Structure 1
Amino acid sequence: MCHLILAKLVLLSSTVVPLLMYPSGYVNLRLRTRQTHLRVLPCAQAQKRSIACAEGRLQLQSFQDVARPPERIPFITRGIIVLAAFLKPVFHVISNVTYFQASLYPTDVVLEVGPGTGNMTVKMLEKVKKVIACELDVKLAGELQKRVQGTPLANKLEIKIGDVLKSDLPFFDACVANLPYQISSPFVFKLLLHRPFFRCAVLMFQREFALRLVAKPGSPLYCRLSVNTQLLARVDHLMKVGKNNFKPPPKVESSVVRIEPRNPPPPINFQEWDGLLRIVFVRKNKTLAAVFNSNAVKKLLEKNYRIHCSQNNLEIPEDFSIGSFIQGILKDTGYAEKRARVMDIDDFISVLHGFNAKGIHFS
């Protein structure tokens, strides 16, 4: 009977991942931290069981020959195991993936939204200058305070209790958060409109929301959220987090994204910009000519146009028709037959400038 090797992989968070391997096999361990790859020869060379790397030290320990494999332990022969998939609860996923992806520095002030039990918080406190943890749950905030009380880390932690959407954000260099769906969109734009600029944010969302953030023109998920976010920031999808990484498992998948604000920001009035997008994405599959032919849209834009003319002492002809005026602008800009679902940021900028140049405003 061929005996197997039962090994334990100890991570930075002290989480132990059991592995089962053939004595002659090897496993390529890939931690999702800037594509770091580690190769371990678990049997013949004992000195290879402890590996120093940029993330710290990973150890293979407690090797034991077993004739019968224990149940519910990942069986590895040759191939890749992504460590994040075995980190439970979700706080371990965040602490070992999101934390490193955020590219933190010793001088950083980090804003953490929803610190929970503080696993990620403690890891960050060991590296950065300060962590500002925003927690809605008073009991969890108290537990976090107790966790660092009496340690050198206590002076580096500031806890803010309350709704982050209703609070003014402090100065910070980087942000990490695991956000519920209902506050995902408002929090993203609260971040992107925050000044002074932060360097980056690494955030976990429900997967569908994350995919909308990074969707490109022509994608079924492409929407106002996609365009607004990508106007103000560079957005990258980092990884998918399966339901089994949570206890209890939710009904939906999650994803981690990285957001870097564009600094300087584009020279656009965001209220004007968002007003345009709200109109064109209501019916994103229709041509702009059809979208702007709506009575509600024409009524709104005529009201704004008359205010503009009044403020600038401009006369409006008696036979003025807002519908003909709008269609003329769309024809002149070349976008009358375009559809929002396939237009990119430059297209929307051209449309906005075309309307604004003629005195039509959206806010």
Structure 2
Amino acid sequence: MTQSNSSKHPLHGTLQKAAKHQPRKRFGQNFLHDASVISQIVDSIGLNKDDNLVEIGPGMGALTEPLLEQVDAMTVIELDRDLASSLRIRIGANSHPNFNIINTNAMHFDYSSLYQQPDAEQSTAGKKLRIVGNLPYNISTPLLFTLLDYADIIEDMHFMLQKEVVERITAEVGSKIYGRLSVIMQYFCETEYLLTVPRGAFNPPPKVTSAVFRLRPHQQKPVVAEDEKLFALVVRETFNHRRKTLRAIFKQSSLMPTLTDADFESIGISSSARPETLDVKDFVALSNVVNIKQQQQAEEDNQSE
């Protein structure tokens, strides 16, 4: 992607104001500065004035100000105390009375505190969160899993991560990069790859190419696991041995019961199949069979006591 001449772009003043901040490696800071990329990201989100917008890791505000121009109110969550103070001075003290800065760790924040409950008296629906962010790469995957715990109060999420991680999240079944992250994210959300972001769009440039993607939590999941923690375990354990057949994986695992060929046949899955050939529906069926087997074993153990 061609780097833009940001000196001629209206965002140039905003980006230049905080240029003196020294990026901190321990926070995984790489600051977006390419005005053309910023515009593409903002456009891809498609905001409405009354959206309940939350930005994670605003950094020096490259995305924050153009986003704030499109909504009536906005909350940002920033761990770096200096950056939070800078945003409070440069943005919060200006003409944005509904700009809320929370100086905390996004991994441990209670996102339900930002959800706007429905008003029964006025018959208004609750305002779900629309979350955006250029996530620190060192915490990106665990943060995504944390946010899935709040899927019922989130409308959508737009994030920038390493390109290879985004490709794994949005991968199709059967591909070499299809794996645990693909299955779990697609179980909870619709996933969509939006755009590639070159290294030169950041300061300092990261060692990897980045990409922007969208997660839209399912209002009603297409398939539902009887035990979602067990579902996650089955997905993790099978992909830990992705080169083996399902028969071998379940025979050798110490965390899952042995499944017979008849167990696999009952859900229409071949025992000689490998994990990357199973879609989300297959993994749900597999975890449900495991759940039944575990319950049967528990009953047998109780009867033998």
Alignment equivalent of 1:133, drawn from 48, 56, 76: 76
Q: Tell me which residue corresponds to 2:149.
A: 193
Which secondary structure state, in structure 2, belongs to the residue aligned with residue 351 of structure 1? Answer: helix
Q: Tell me which residue corresponds to 1:217.
A: 173
- String of CA shifts for 1:299-335, please: whole Å, max 9, x gaps: 4345xxxxxxxxxxxxxxxxxxxx4x64542354343
Partner Cα distance (2:6, 2:209) in 1: 28
Q: Tell me which residue corresponds to 2:224.
A: 267
Please tell me the root mean square deviation across aligned C-alpha atoms, in Å.
2.5
Q: TM-score under structure 1 normalisation?
A: 0.65
Does the CA contact (< 8 Å) of 1:111 and 1:134 recur in 2?
A: yes
Matched, 1:335 2:277: no
Does the CA contact (< 8 Å) of 1:200 and 1:261 recur in 2?
A: yes
Does the CA contact (< 8 Å) of 1:138 and 1:161 recur in 2?
A: yes
Report the residue type matching 2:263 in the other structure: I
Q: TM-score under structure 2 normalisation?
A: 0.77
Alignment of 1:286-325 (within 5 A): 286-294=244-252, 297=253, 299-301=254-256, 323=258
Instruction: Please report how far the alpha carbon of residue 179 of structure 1 lies from its aligned counterpart in structure 2 after TM superposition.
Output: 1.1
Q: Tell me which residue corresponds to 1:13.
A: 11
Q: Tell me which residue corresponds to 2:108.
A: 166
Q: Tell me which residue corresponds to 2:66.
A: 123
Q: 1:190 to 1:335 in 2, by over 3 A?
A: same
Structure 2: any 5+ residue segments left out of the alignment? 14-30, 116-127, 297-305
Instruction: Please report how far the alpha carbon of residue 101 of structure 1 lies from its aligned counterpart in structure 2 after TM superposition.
Output: 1.2
Matched, 1:157 2:96: no
Alignment of 1:232-271 (within 5 A): 232-265=188-221, 266-268=223-225, 269-271=227-229
Q: 1:139 to 1:149 in 2, by over 3 A?
A: same
Q: 1:255 to 1:327 in 2, by over 3 A?
A: same
Alignment equivalent of 1:231, drawn from 163, 181, 187: 187
Instruction: Please report how far the alpha carbon of residue 259 of structure 1 lies from its aligned counterpart in structure 2 after TM superposition.
Output: 1.0
Instruction: Please report how far the alpha carbon of residue 267 of structure 1 lies from its aligned counterpart in structure 2 after TM superposition.
Output: 2.7
Does the CA contact (< 8 Å) of 1:197 and 1:263 recur in 2?
A: no
Does the CA contact (< 8 Å) of 1:301 and 1:360 recur in 2?
A: no
Instruction: Please report how far the alpha carbon of residue 270 of structure 1 lies from its aligned counterpart in structure 2 after TM superposition.
Output: 1.8
Alignment equivalent of 2:290, drawn from 355, 359, 362: 355
Does the CA contact (< 8 Å) of 1:94 and 1:120 recur in 2?
A: no
Instruction: Compare the two structures and name the one with the higher strand fraction.
Output: 1
Q: Tell me which residue corresponds to 2:21.
A: none
Q: Tell me which residue corresponds to 2:39.
A: 96
Instruction: Please report how far the alpha carbon of residue 338 of structure 1 lies from its aligned counterpart in structure 2 after TM superposition.
Output: 1.1
Partner Cα distance (1:289, 1:124) in 2: 50
Q: Tell me which residue corresponds to 1:114.
A: 57
Instruction: Point out which structure has higher relative CO (alpha carbons under 8 A, 6+ apart).
Output: 2
Structure 1: any 5+ residue segments left out of the alignment? 1-6, 16-87, 303-322
Partner Cα distance (2:203, 2:8) in 1: 21
Does the CA contact (< 8 Å) of 2:155 and 2:216 recur in 1?
A: yes
Report the residue type matching 1:282 in the other structure: N
Partner Cα distance (1:190, 1:337) in 2: 34
Q: 1:227 to 1:341 in 2, by over 3 A?
A: same
Q: How many residues align?
A: 258
